[in-house]
Amino acid sequence: MIKLPEYQAKDFGKVAVLMGGQSAEREISLESGKAVLTALSDFGVDVTGIDYDKDTFKQLMNDDFDRVFIALHGRGGEDGTIQGALDSIGMPYTGSGVLGSSLAMDKILSKAVWRDSGIPTPAAVELNEETHWDDVVDQIGLPIMVKPVNEGSSIGASKVTEADKLSSAWVQANQFDDRVMAETWIEGGEYTVPILNDVVLPMIKLETAREFYDYQAKYIDDNTQYICPCGLDEHTERSLGELSNKASQILGVTGWSRVDLMLDESGNAWLIEVNTVPGMTSHSLVPMAAKQAGISFQELVIQILATSMVNTSVTKELEN
């Protein structure tokens, strides 16, 4: 079982939930932020929701907030930008700091760090208007996943099965990010590993009738299946959890995260990316895993908020 530290509403002082912003994931961020806001308010926390804009920092300082719950997804919220700005005014916040956030957000850079550390991740190359598409196929083979380097929620991502389709896939992804990457397609099962303060929560297997777990499958389709327990044997799930936790730590990710990975047809694990501000909507995965572990949504939100404090910890106890 998982033993959680206990907190009272007064422990947190005045809290701002930052949501929305201007990234491509704005609408998802607003959903996450509203859910977090409700949970904290119901717990009795003095909490205010703020749709992040240029005046937000003036409001944070003028209204004497004590800490921030970051519910901003995508660029600006997960790439170290907001973290650095909050550091500059001495404002505590949830989740990873500048380094962990920026490394995890940059899929090309995080993959390079993983490869240097022996973490298995699919081969990838960065694309631009001068790329020779046949060279990309020679390097990483077909099929290929093309996606923005610095976006989440599978925005702008597509599967390419023919070399002459790479150019149009690059154009599509380039609408969302100046940097675009091609990644070796892994055929197999897709899993996600939620982590709370270095404790791995139950893994979830993702199944969709679509070509892959894209934006539609994540947020719109009602037919997407979330399987938890994930169906893997205990040893395999534990090993994958340890690998995912290590992969997060190598990038400097702290507090909470969600690691996405693939298991190929031979049972080999391939880590795809780390999300440092995972979704907290009705379709979101971290709350699903927490529920399987016996942690309510409100308890989860409180524990995430506590990552903005010093010396917080979550421990696992052996069941009698």
pLDDT score recorded for residue 176: 84
- Per the annotation, the verdict on 245 as an active-site residue is no
User: How would you class 89 by CB atoms within 10 Å of its CB: exposed for 0-12, middle for 13-18, buried for 19 or more?
Assistant: exposed
Helices 297-305 and 26-43 cross at an angle (nearest 10°) of 100
pLDDT score recorded for residue 312: 46
- Per the annotation, the verdict on 311 as an active-site residue is no
User: Once rounded to an integer, what is the mean pLDDT over residues 85-114?
Assistant: 95
pLDDT score recorded for residue 292: 96
Query: Does position 219 have pLDDT exceeding 70, yes or no?
Result: no
Cβ atoms of residues 202 and 229 within 8 Å:
yes
Catalytic member of 20, 25, 93, 214: 25
User: Once rounded to an integer, what is the mean pLDDT over residues 178-185?
Assistant: 93
User: Once rounded to an integer, what is the mean pLDDT over residues 161-173?
Assistant: 89
Would you tell me how many other CB atoms lie within 10 Å of the CB of residue 179?
A: 16
Residue 192's pLDDT band (boundaries 50, 70, 90)?
Answer: very high
Catalytic member of 273, 284, 299, 308: 273
Reduced 3-state DSSP string for 96-130: CCHHHHHHHHCHHHHHHHHHHCCCCCCCEEEECCC
- Per the annotation, the verdict on 319 as an active-site residue is no
pLDDT score recorded for residue 223: 75
Q: Is it true that the peptide bond before 148 is cis, omega within 30 degrees of 0?
A: no
Q: What angle do CA 108, 18, 241 make, to 5 degrees?
A: 45
Catalytic member of 183, 190, 214, 260: 260
Tell me the pLDDT tens digit for each residue of 128-161: 888 999 999 999 999 999 998 887 656 788 888 8
Catalytic member of 80, 95, 279, 284: 279
Question: Which residue would you say has higher pLDDT here, 243 or 61?
Answer: 243
- Per the annotation, the verdict on 257 as an active-site residue is no
- Per the annotation, the verdict on 150 as an active-site residue is no
Can you tell me the distance from the alpha carbon of 252 to that of 83, in angstroms, rounded to the nearest whole number? Answer: 13
- Per the annotation, the verdict on 90 as an active-site residue is no
Query: Does position 319 have pLDDT exceeding 50, yes or no?
Result: no
Cβ atoms of residues 195 and 245 within 8 Å:
yes
Catalytic member of 219, 237, 244, 299: 219
- Per the annotation, the verdict on 66 as an active-site residue is no
Query: Does position 74 have pLDDT exceeding 90, yes or no?
Result: no
Catalytic member of 275, 284, 299, 308: 275
Number of helices (H), then strands (E), belonging to the chain: the values are 11, 15
Residue 50's pLDDT band (boundaries 50, 70, 90)?
Answer: very high
Query: Does position 221 have pLDDT exceeding 80, yes or no?
Result: no
This prediction's pTM: 0.90
The residue written with tokens 């303060």 in the block is 197
Burial readout 114-151 (b: 16 or more C-beta within 10 A, e: otherwise): beeeebebbebeebeeebebeebbeebeebbbbbbbbb
Question: Which residue would you say has higher pLDDT here, 120 or 54?
Answer: 120
Catalytic member of 153, 154, 244, 308: 153
Give me the DSSP letters along 136-203.
HHHHH-SSEEEEETT--TTTT-EEE-SGGGHHHHHHHHHTT-S-EEEEE---EEEEEEEEETTEEPPP
Using DSSP, state whether 265 is helix, strand or coil.
coil
**Domains of the chain listed by start with CATH number:** 2-94 (3.40.50.20), 123-184 (3.30.1490.20), 188-316 (3.30.470.20)
Main-chain phi, psi angles of 207, to 5 degrees:
-130, 130
Query: Does position 209 have pLDDT exceeding 80, yes or no?
Result: no
Among 49-58, 210-219, 236-245, 297-306, the minimum mean pLDDT is found in 210-219
- Per the annotation, the verdict on 296 as an active-site residue is no
pLDDT score recorded for residue 302: 97
Burial readout 7-37 (b: 16 or more C-beta within 10 A, e: otherwise): bebeebeebbbbbbbebbbbebbbbbbbbbb
Tell me what the pLDDT averaged over the chain comes to: 90
